Amino acid sequence: MEPFDAAALVGTRVGSATLLAELARGSMGIVFAAFQHTLKRRIAVKVLPDALADEESSRLFIQEAEAAAGLAHPHIVPIYEIGREPGFHWFSMQLIEGESLDRRLKRLAANPVPGRRLLPSGEALQLMQRVLAALDYAHGRGVVHRDVKPANILVTSGSALPVLTDFGIAALRSPGGDALKTPRGSPLYMAPEQILHPAADERVDVYAAGVLLFRLLVPGLPLVAHRSTEELLVAKSSGKPVFTRRPSEVNPRLHRDMDDLIAQATAFRPAERFSSCRHFAEALARYERRHGGSG
């Protein structure tokens, strides 16, 4: 997101809340901490200033709120209100006390002790099963996330539970729901068919979850050599291997069964992947029962 003086919005009343301070910003808006006067609690409010928006981004911003508002799951952030003020769109949601999974992974990677630069494998498997459960729930209600990645997963303080956020490019399987004309998403996590066919189905989330699991279990993803994002997207869409080594080759503490799980989740052809996030989660649970938290 381009530079924007978020401080100018501090103190602004939106719905039943007042904006207190900027928390984060991304390509689809600025998130503020806010105080909800009616229930006397801190919440989060996401804002999309008109100065940073075009017609499609405004539509996607509203779609994000509408997509998530219809979902009630312990691992999906709850949406409270949506509205419009002079100069910006906004919606409010639960304030998750914690940090993004992306930030947590970067913090772990900086640990001076090599053995502590990854999540414990058992914790990573449990986290993934919860994320997959949230995705399966959303799919059952006609919502495909399409942008599953560490930055869009919040990890709560203390309990370290994942909460899925940012449904800005979600596909709504309802009349008039999905209208993406061009590919959107994060190149590393985008499924091959998502690059060429923006309205691809829920198996794009299976693919992204497979890449995410791979990233959680190894110190560095063994990606095919590429000089630009475009080269990576071309390799993906042409069916060329994206990963040059198997998970157990990068992390020898993993059982080779994990190689098969990640290979199936990230298969080039959607029909060769797990047919649903539930089936992927069940496969992870079987792996955990057989091999524990190896890795």
Contacts of 82 (CB under 8 A, 6+ apart): 62, 65, 66, 69, 89, 90, 91, 92
Amino acid identity of residue 255, one-letter, is H
Q: Which two tokens stand for residue 189?
A: 């996590």
**Residue tagged active-site, from 136, 147, 178, 205:** 147
What is the Cα–Cα distance from 129 to 34, expressed in whole angstroms? Answer: 31
CB environment 214-233: b (16+ within 10 A), e (fewer): bbbbbeeeeeeeeeeeeebb
Report the alpha-carbon angle 270-128-46, nearest 5.
95
Taking the CA atoms of 4, 8, 11 and 16 in sequence, report the sign of the dihedral they define.
Answer: negative
Cβ neighbour number for residue 183 with a 10 Å cutoff: 17
**Is 259 a catalytic site residue?**
no
What is the Cα–Cα distance from 191 to 211, expressed in whole angstroms? Answer: 10
Q: Which two tokens stand for residue 253?
A: 């503490």
What is the Cα–Cα distance from 106 to 209, expressed in whole angstroms? Answer: 18
What is the Cα–Cα distance from 251 to 283, expressed in whole angstroms? Answer: 20
Instruction: List strands edge to edge, sheet with 153-156.
Output: 98-100, 153-156, 162-164
Point out the residues that are catalytic.
147
